[in-house]
Amino acid sequence: MIIDMPDTTTNAVGKRLAHLRDEGGAVALGRVLTLVVVAQETDIEEAVRTANEASHEHPCRVVVITSLGEHDGPPRLDAEIRVGGDAGASEVVVLRASQEMVQRTDTLVMPLLLPDAPIVVWWPSGGPDEPSADPLGRMAHRRITDTTTSHEPVAMLGRLAQAYQPGDTDLAWARVTLWRGLIAAAVEQPPFEPVTAVRVEGEEQHTSLDLLAAWLGQRLRCPAVVARTDGNDAITRVVLERKTGPIVLDRPDGRVVTITQPNKPERRMALPIRALNEALIEELRRLDPDELYGEVLTRGLDRVETVRADA
């Protein structure tokens, strides 16, 4: 069910939500957090769909904020409430606010926050360079950006490293979790030799390459290189050099990874590129600061050298 509330206030929206709960149309019990989504108009439907899918594992109230666009006249707020089949296991409020109101997003959403529940802010399209300084970021327990959707992904990742505060995270980090597990399992097998160099290859502007290389360089204490190329999807190849020969994880098609090691049979495993909802679900599993991400971002990135893939 979708309820339109043109030219309204967030207090009125909150009262309408309470009325819907009283009627039994939406249940607040079991909501574990408030997910605030700061989106562009063109991203709203995908963001809501992703949040709804994530809500089946993390029941929450979803508040989506976007600009009303060109607007003449006094400040205006148009709201939309989605419950039932249109909201997954959550209740969704879409706020379209005039520019004057968007400048104070913290005040705008305050009447809609669940009491005594953590607040998570998600920017589907890039995000601010200093999330903790954003009005919503200051009140959030977790701040989720997505550098892969930025106009300048690698540059934005560098700016996030300069401004990092505990509670920050990026969906590019969640997208390398399965890679990290496979690599750790491969390294921890005989002959237990140290890795002397790391090379991560893949899509030119995909920041998961940088974060994976930074993690490997930081953990293995060895040189780490990112080799960028055009026409690929995300991470396509990881090579870990050792004295007796390299460990190679090759995923040219974005679906299946082939793992080769000296004196061991070749292995093939399914490793599809992670969908947006999978990355968001993973980030919502923890509400405490991700200390490893912070270490990789602030220390590991400095260890990474970038080259072209044919270098």
pLDDT at 280: 97
φ and ψ of 274, to 5 deg: -70, 135
Class of residue 35 by CB neighbours under 10 A (exposed 0-12, middle 13-18, buried 19+): buried
Domain boundaries, the chain: 2-170, 177-308
pLDDT, tens digit, for every residue of 141-184? 999 999 999 999 999 999 999 999 999 999 999 999 999 999 99
pLDDT, tens digit, for every residue of 85-124? 766 667 899 999 998 888 889 999 999 999 889 999 999 9
74-90 in b/e form (b: 16+ CB < 10 A) is eebbbbbbbbeeebbbb
What pTM did the predictor assign?
Answer: 0.93
pLDDT at 189: 87
Nearest one of 290, 293, 294, 288 to 33, comparing CA atoms:
288
pLDDT at 24: 63
Q: Which residues in the chain show pLDDT less than 70?
A: 24-30, 71, 86-89, 310-311
pLDDT at 228: 93
pLDDT at 83: 85
pLDDT at 123: 97
